[in-house]
Chains A and B, each alone.
Chain A
Amino acid sequence: MRAVASLAAEPVFRNHAGKRPTPWEDVQDLVTYWHLLLNLVHRDLTVRYKRSVLGFFWSLLNPLLMMVILTIVFSHFFRFELAHYETYFISEYLVWVFFAQTTANSMASLAWNGPLMKRVRLPKTIFALSGTIAGLINLGLSTGPMLVIMVFVKAPIRPAMLFLPVSFLIIALFTLGVSLGLSALATYFDDVAQMYQVGIMGLMYLTPIMYPKTIIPGRFMWLVNANPLTHLFELARYPIYFGQLPPLHVVWLSLAAAVGALVIGWTIFRRLAGGFYLHI
């Protein structure tokens, strides 16, 4: 009975020389593994907080404490002439933490799941994707304490903030692209993770997160403008700090950066994925 039932819809798996899945097949693969994706997201969220007493709230407390420190430093020691500096800072700091943590986690996650990939056939991009989704959930939750702070410092909260889900999504696409490329490279070369440490530090100062763009000398302006994060993060700053929808050119530049990062990162990942086997 079993044989008759299974014969009709019996899947046939062919594995032959030169077989390389198309991008579309990669996507379909991810769809069939969505149970695993849910589990990975769940694991990312729970394992991270399981062993600390404050648990999940630590992730919310961390940007809060960081913000208090930086607010004191920048509004009392180095003075930028900005109204509601706290809000100015936190509007981009939140997405910065998301970007930095997610990309760093993606490298660790791929290495950590190496043994798994040697034994089970699964879409390898699933780890970067689940890390980005988990980070995105965290980011969404951290808007809660941000609102509390904004109320506390009497900063205005405006309806433009309803645009934030779109902002976060575009930033997440960019982050996913960077995570894919970085994690693939980090699997091949030991020094990528170390160079990343330096790189991410430089990038943070190159992005106007804690200082206003106006303090940058004119001859360095191109450098800040060439940094995709400058535009991407403004997607969050406009609704939160300025209370306006981001201007169209910011949206277009960000979308272009996100799509570009995704294409490049995914291409690197697909080219290197076949050889992960030898490096993990």
Chain B
Amino acid sequence: MLPLDPSVAIGLHDVAVRFRVPRRRIPTLKEWAIRRLTSGLAYEDFRGLDGVSLEVARGRSLGVIGANGAGKSTMLRVIAGILTPTAGEVVVRGRVAPIIELGTGFDQELSGRENVFFNGALLGRSRNEMRDRFDSIVDFAEIRDFIDAPLRTYSTGMAARLAFAVATTVDADVLLLDEILAVGDGAFTTKCRQRIESFRQAGVTILFVSHSLDAVCWLCDDALWLRDGKVAALGPAEQVAEEYRGWMGKDRPTARRLHGSDGI
């Protein structure tokens, strides 16, 4: 058990997540039964996270960077309680908002209005609470004219705006953001950034997973670089982003070629 330091909002202590995956996927119950009887079940370990320890102080924002499959999303899921670690412990103080990832929990058949209430319920909000926030959500998403049309008629941008607007109306102490600035036009991205900035002002602790180093430097105090499920670097955002950039240029030939041919 980790000691409870009230200034720490998120604490990870030697957290590991290993998945036991059958070497070959067993698609059917019949096959599983046969293999079980013939003892032909082979598993292999897949490491999502491997001994990660860190602390995020209350009100700080931490950017999480790293290549695909490095464990960024796994880390968010362990913090959100969607996954249970196979070793170690996570302690989170305060109310954790669910991972905000665009499009979460939207139902294509329901109207925009119904989706607002449904998503509110996912975040633990009653209909009355959502009714109070409804207007501000619709205004922020700029979709008042389409709010009663089914979601399948929305453009990707419209759905993205609505998702962000709904997700960020919860009063949480800890926000987990997964690649949310990737979609949407320039004007809306600016609006999102402003809202995230206002969360920082309000003292909300933020974990921000992104491939955009610029966004991480802009939004976060600190950054964590995950590599193969391990902490490769942890420190001030600019510094970690610089190290990561250097690694991408040095160790990854494709990355070097891409960056090298820029000529800027």
Name B183-211 residues within 8 Å CB distance of A: 202-203
Given A17-B85, A17-B89, A19-B84, CB of A121 within 8 Å of CB of B94: no
Is there an interface contact between A13 and B122, defined as CB atoms closer than 8 Å?
A: no
Is there an interface contact between A278 and B98, defined as CB atoms closer than 8 Å?
A: no
Name B67-103 residues within 8 Å CB distance of A: 77-96, 98-99, 101
Binary contact track A73-116/B, C-beta < 8 Å → 1, others 0: 00000000000000000000000000000000000000000011
Hey, which chain A residues are within 8 Å of B118, CB to CB?
39, 43
Is there an interface contact between B32 and A274, defined as CB atoms closer than 8 Å?
A: no
Is there an interface contact between B90 and A120, defined as CB atoms closer than 8 Å?
A: no
Which A residue sits closest to B81, measured CB to CB?
Answer: A121
How near does chain B come to A48, taking the closest CB pair, in angstroms? 9
Which A residue sits closest to B76, measured CB to CB?
Answer: A119
**How far is it, in angstroms, between the C-alpha of A18 and the C-alpha of B17 when the chains are bound?**
11
**How far is it, in angstroms, between the C-alpha of A185 and the C-alpha of B30 when the chains are bound?**
12
Is there an interface contact between B92 and A191, defined as CB atoms closer than 8 Å?
A: no
Is there an interface contact between B110 and A2, defined as CB atoms closer than 8 Å?
A: no
Hey, which chain A residues are within 8 Å of B84, CB to CB?
15-20, 274
Q: Is A271 in the interface zone, CB < 8 Å from B?
A: no
Is there an interface contact between B121 and A11, defined as CB atoms closer than 8 Å?
A: no
How near does chain A come to B204, taking the closest CB pair, in angstroms? 10
Hey, which chain B residues are within 8 Å of A119, CB to CB?
82, 98-99, 101, 104-105
How near does chain A come to B72, taking the closest CB pair, in angstroms? 14
How near does chain B come to A60, taking the closest CB pair, in angstroms? 21
Q: Is A38 in the interface zone, CB < 8 Å from B?
A: yes
Q: Is A27 in the interface zone, CB < 8 Å from B?
A: no
Given A17-B87, A36-B121, CB of A121 within 8 Å of CB of B95: no
| Number of A-B residue pairs at CB separation under 8 A | 125
B side interface size, CB within 8 A: 54
Binary contact track A175-207/B, C-beta < 8 Å → 1, others 0: 000000000010011111001000000000000
Hey, which chain A residues are within 8 Å of B4, CB to CB?
12
How near does chain A come to B111, taking the closest CB pair, in angstroms? 10
**How far is it, in angstroms, between the C-alpha of A195 and the C-alpha of B77 when the chains are bound?**
34
Hey, which chain A residues are within 8 Å of B79, CB to CB?
15
Which A residue sits closest to B104, measured CB to CB?
Answer: A119
Is there an interface contact between A120 and B105, defined as CB atoms closer than 8 Å?
A: yes
Hey, which chain B residues are within 8 Å of A120, CB to CB?
80, 82, 98-99, 104-105, 122-123
Is there an interface contact between B126 and A35, defined as CB atoms closer than 8 Å?
A: yes
Hey, which chain A residues are within 8 Å of B114, CB to CB?
43, 46
Most buried by B among A11, A115, A116, A120: A120
Binary contact track A197-228/B, C-beta < 8 Å → 1, others 0: 00000000000000000000000000000000
Binary contact track B205-235/A, C-beta < 8 Å → 1, others 0: 0000000000000000000000000000000
Hey, which chain B residues are within 8 Å of A32, CB to CB?
124
**How far is it, in angstroms, between the C-alpha of A188 and the C-alpha of B28 when the chains are bound?**
8
Is there an interface contact between A15 and B107, defined as CB atoms closer than 8 Å?
A: no
Hey, which chain A residues are within 8 Å of B104, CB to CB?
115-116, 119-120
Contacting residue for B89 out of A14, A115, A122, CB 8 A: A14
Hey, which chain A residues are within 8 Å of B40, CB to CB?
none
Given A39-B117, A43-B110, CB of A16 within 8 Å of CB of B85: yes
Hey, which chain B residues are within 8 Å of A39, CB to CB?
117-118, 121
Binary contact track A1-44/B, C-beta < 8 Å → 1, others 0: 01100110011111111111000000000001101101110010
Given A7-B6, A11-B95, A39-B121, CB of A16 within 8 Å of CB of B89: yes
Q: Is A51 in the interface zone, CB < 8 Å from B?
A: yes
Top-3 shortest CB links A-B: A16-B89, A191-B28, A39-B121
A-B pairs with beta carbons under 8 Å apart, 15 shown: A2-B202, A7-B6, A12-B93, A13-B90, A16-B84, A17-B85, A35-B125, A39-B118, A43-B118, A46-B110, A47-B107, A120-B80, A120-B82, A189-B28, A277-B83
